[in-house]
Structure 1
Amino acid sequence: MKIFCSKDSLISGVNAVQRAVSVKNTLPVLSGILISAEKQSLRFAATDLELGIRCEIPAQIEEEGTIVVPAKLFAEVVRKLPDTMITIKEENLAITIYYYQSEITLRGYDPEEYPLLPDLIDPMSYTIPTLIFKNMIRQTIFSCAVEENRPVFNGTLMQIEGSNLRLVATDTHRLAYSISEVENPKNASFNGIIPAKTLAEIYRLLKDEDESIQISFNKTQVVFQFGLIYLVSRLIDGMFPNYKQVIPQTCETKINLSVKNFLEAVERASLLSHDKSGANIIRIKVESTQLKIDQTTELGKISEQIEVTTQGNDVMIAFNAKFLIDALKVIDTDQIIFELSGPYSPGVMRPLDNPNYLYLVLPVRIS
């Protein structure tokens, strides 16, 4: 293999695939990046056997070839290269990087041992505008569970039904739901749990100039293609809970309030809300046209009051402050409706005049 390439192109290739490199697998070859030069295409690929990313970068190919390079070392070397045209030659499972009158040689791995990223056979496909999908990911992914006790909660449920695309995420303490209406001329249908890591990578890699993203899928895998990126992921095996059952259909108290004012008040109160157990609980009291947050801890005292419009009963309820802040930061409207039904029932936030998003959060029982 012999190729000529700019430093910027090498960096973009490394950045695109590096997070799919395995950090736990016992196979040394999986700690590397597969580099393939074919015709006028230079491809970078990496996989941890659950997530795989392939990326094409511009390069001049003089001799075709394939090699696996150690990902971490190769990335560090590439970032330290000068801003000039780079020449890379592969020979005897090693690459030599030439720049100016200097060179660096790195030992690699046998590409025959590297697993190929699969191309799905006869998949169903679906195309979504990039901006819509990125926003749906942003508004839901934070509700995925971090612990790995129950894998179905470590991902986001994606459903495609007719012209409706839904993303739903929950860690059992809160739930974020987003729906969009998009074109589906082939009437594709899909119901699968996509790992949060996969969606985080898609969000990171999607550029605003990528007008659309194509999703292809079968029963066990899903592929996302956009720009020069090909990303394949396994689906999480398991049954996602029936989220429709936990969303209240009625409420006793309906509060119309400013997202900005509520977020700022909760953030200030949360500074004093940590107790000895490490909990970050704030107490909210709604009376007539006021929402009050009063906190008294060993750290100090704070009293917040926000003018609101309410319908229904007065209520006192407690929440994990972080769960409120996470949602308020991704809601795009200026006003929300906050629906409550007493101190022990979940609260539901809905952007005003936007029925396509909701956020449900369970209260905290306090003495």
Structure 2
Amino acid sequence: MKVYCSKDSLLTGVNTVQKAVSSKNTLPVLQGIMIKAEGQSLIFEATDLEIGIRCVVPAQVEEEGVAVLPSRIFSDLVRKLPDAAIILELENDIITIKYYESDLSLRGYDPEEFPLLPDLLDAETFDLPVSLFKTMIKQTIFTCSTEESRPVFTGCLLQIEDNTIRLIATDTHRLAYRFAEIPNTDQFKFQGIIPAKTLGEIYRLLREEDENLIIRFNPSQIVFQFGSVYLLSRLIEGQFPNYKQVIPQSCQTKVILPTKLFQESVERASLLARDGSHTSIIKLTIDTEHLSIDQASDLGKITEQMEIRKEGNDVKIAFNSKFLLDVLKIIDSEEIIFELSGPYSPGIIRPVDDPDYLYLALPVRTS
């Protein structure tokens, strides 16, 4: 291998694929990044066998070849290279990186042992606007569980049916649901649970200039392609719960209130509401014209009150403050609709100007 390229190209490749490098796997080669010189490109790949990422960057290839380099040291070296023309040369699994009058060398792994990413050539394919899918991820991913003992809750359910796409996540205490209308002329149908790690990487890598996102899928894997990036992920096995059953179809109390003011009030009250389990439970009282937060603990007390517009019954209810703050931070709408049906029924939060999004949180029973 002999390749001429820029530091920026190397940095783009390394930064794109590095999060797919295995940190736990016992196979040493999975702790590496594969670089392959082919045509007029340098191809970077990494995988932990759950998720794989490929990135193609421009390069001047004098001699084709492939190497697998230890991720951590290679990434650190690339970041510390000068902004100069870089030459990569490979001989006997040792790659030499030349810049100015200097050079350094790294011993790699055997490329024959590196598992290449499949292309899912026989898969179903459709596209989506990048901006839409990025918004859908932002509005749902924070609701995924981090408990590996219940895998189906550690991802988001992606559904495509007729002309509708849905993304749903729940950790059993709360649920986020977003849908959108899409052109689906071939009437593709898909249902699969995508790991939160995969969606987090897609969100990190998607750029505004990437207008279209191509999605391919088969029963066990899904691929996302955008710009110069190819990301493959396994789907989580198991049955996602019937989310439609837990979403109330009506409410006894409907409140419209300013998003930012409510968020700031909850943040202040939560500071004085920590109990022995480090959970901040805040109590809300909703009457004709006001929403009140009255909080007292060994740390002190606070009374917050704001004007609201209300339809229906007065209600007193308590929530884990984190469950409210997580959603309030990602809502761009100036006002939200808060729907309640008594102190023990789920609360629903919707942005006033986004009817395609819904967030549900279970209340906390207090003495």
Q: TM-score surpassing 0.5?
A: yes
**Residue 91 (structure 2) aligns with:** 91
Tell me the amino acid that sits aligned with residue 25 of structure 1.
N
Q: How many residues align?
A: 367
Shift of 1:353: 4.0
Separation in structure 1 between the aligned mates of residue 195 and residue 62 of structure 2, nearest angstrom: 39
Deviations 1:305-347 (A, max 9, x none): 0100111111111101011011011112111110111111100
Separation in structure 1 between the aligned mates of residue 253 and residue 154 of structure 2, nearest angstrom: 32
Shift of 1:162: 1.4
**Residue 148 (structure 1) aligns with:** 148
TM-score by length of 1: 0.99
Separation in structure 2 between the aligned mates of residue 356 and residue 39 of structure 1, nearest angstrom: 45
**Residue 138 (structure 1) aligns with:** 138
Residues 46-195 of structure 1 mapped to structure 2, 5 A cutoff = 46-195=46-195
Task: Give the SS at the match of 1:324.
Answer: helix
Separation in structure 1 between the aligned mates of residue 358 and residue 251 of structure 2, nearest angstrom: 14
Tell me the amino acid that sits aligned with residue 142 of structure 1.
F
Separation in structure 2 between the aligned mates of residue 221 and residue 141 of structure 1, nearest angstrom: 19
**Residue 261 (structure 2) aligns with:** 261
Task: Give the SS at the match of 1:140.
Answer: helix
**Residue 305 (structure 1) aligns with:** 305
Which ranges of 4 or more aligned residues in structure 1 deviate by more than 2 Å? none
Deviations 1:220-263 (A, max 9, x none): 00000000000000000000000000001111111111111111
**Residue 4 (structure 2) aligns with:** 4
Deviations 1:108-166 (A, max 9, x none): 01100000101113211110001011001000000000111110000000000111110
Separation in structure 1 between the aligned mates of residue 349 and residue 89 of structure 2, nearest angstrom: 57
Tell me the amino acid that sits aligned with residue 167 of structure 1.
L
**Residue 215 (structure 2) aligns with:** 215
Tell me the amino acid that sits aligned with residue 77 of structure 1.
L
Separation in structure 2 between the aligned mates of residue 354 and residue 92 of structure 1, nearest angstrom: 58
Separation in structure 1 between the aligned mates of residue 36 and residue 136 of structure 2, nearest angstrom: 34
Task: Give the SS at the match of 1:209.
Answer: coil
**Residue 316 (structure 1) aligns with:** 316
**Residue 32 (structure 1) aligns with:** 32
Deviations 1:166-225 (A, max 9, x none): 000000000000001111122211000000000000000000000010000010000000
The more displaced of 192-201 and 327-336 is: 327-336
Separation in structure 2 between the aligned mates of residue 8 and residue 39 of structure 1, nearest angstrom: 19
**Residue 345 (structure 2) aligns with:** 345
**Residue 272 (structure 2) aligns with:** 272
Tell me the amino acid that sits aligned with residue 331 of structure 1.
I
Separation in structure 2 between the aligned mates of residue 263 and residue 247 of structure 1, nearest angstrom: 23
Tell me the amino acid that sits aligned with residue 358 of structure 1.
L
Separation in structure 2 between the aligned mates of residue 276 and residue 235 of structure 1, nearest angstrom: 38
Separation in structure 1 between the aligned mates of residue 270 and residue 216 of structure 2, nearest angstrom: 43
Separation in structure 1 between the aligned mates of residue 323 and residue 267 of structure 2, nearest angstrom: 11
The more displaced of 159-168 and 182-191 is: 182-191
Separation in structure 1 between the aligned mates of residue 268 and residue 38 of structure 2, nearest angstrom: 57
Separation in structure 2 between the aligned mates of residue 92 and residue 292 of structure 1, nearest angstrom: 71
Tell me the amino acid that sits aligned with residue 153 of structure 2.
F
> Which structure 1 residue ranges, 5 or more long, are not aligned?
none
Separation in structure 2 between the aligned mates of residue 16 and residue 158 of structure 1, nearest angstrom: 24
Task: Give the SS at the match of 1:145.
Answer: coil
Separation in structure 2 between the aligned mates of residue 251 and residue 185 of structure 1, nearest angstrom: 36
Taking only aligned residues, the RMSD between alpha carbons, in angstroms, comes to 0.8
Task: Give the SS at the match of 1:303.
Answer: strand
Separation in structure 2 between the aligned mates of residue 352 and residue 80 of structure 1, nearest angstrom: 48
Task: Give the SS at the match of 1:139.
Answer: helix
Task: Give the SS at the match of 1:274.
Answer: coil
**Residue 355 (structure 2) aligns with:** 355
Shift of 1:66: 0.3
Tell me the amino acid that sits aligned with residue 272 of structure 2.
L
> Which structure 2 residue ranges, 5 or more long, are not aligned?
none
TM-score by length of 2: 0.99
Shift of 1:285: 0.5
Separation in structure 1 between the aligned mates of residue 183 and residue 332 of structure 2, nearest angstrom: 23
